[in-house]
Amino acid sequence: MNTAVLLLGANLGNEEMIFSQVRSLCTERVGNIVAQSKVYSSAAWGFEHENLFYNQALVVQTHKTAHETLAECLRIETELGRTRTKSGIYEARIIDIDIEYFNSEIIDTPDLHIPHPLIQVREFALIPLCEVIPDFVHPVLQQTQRKLLEILTTNT
């Protein structure tokens, strides 16, 4: 059994309904959600947008591999209306499902980077992660989520 830690993000549409659909589809296709944070809101990060972003962390027990989990998350995003551009520029989205952690694995392939390479600079990710996995140690940085948030907020 594997543990995938996902971060949902959205700033277009009805995020409450979309997040509910994601949780249902994740349970059906990825695995059992064993913990979920409340939904947090924040300003857009990495680009300007008038809508707030909403984020929620999910901890999922799965028999899938990290790449299989990614494939399911991408399918769920597409089914719920997400369109991706190849520009690499941050933009508004109806849904984004990022794999923040997968067990304590370090994966660096062209299509998958785990742990998510920007966790330590994203307060919008660390706050919900601290709610569900506060003492989980980042396998590269060797700091807990709580400590990463403390470092980030102290330095900003």
Strands (E), 63-132: 96-102, 107-109, 112-114
Is-above-0.75 flag for pTM? Answer: yes
- Burial class for 45, CB neighbours closer than 10 Å (0-12, 13-18, 19+): middle
Tell me the HSE value of 119 on the side-chain side, using a 13 A CA sphere: 33
Residue 91, pLDDT > 70, answer no
Q: For 9-64, write each residue's pLDDT tens digit.
A: 888 778 899 999 999 999 999 999 999 999 998 765 555 656 678 999 999 999 99
**CA gap 47, 153 in Å, rounded:** 20
Q: For 96-106, write each residue's pLDDT tens digit.
A: 899 999 999 99
Domains of the chain (ranges, CATH numbers): 2-117 (3.30.70.560)
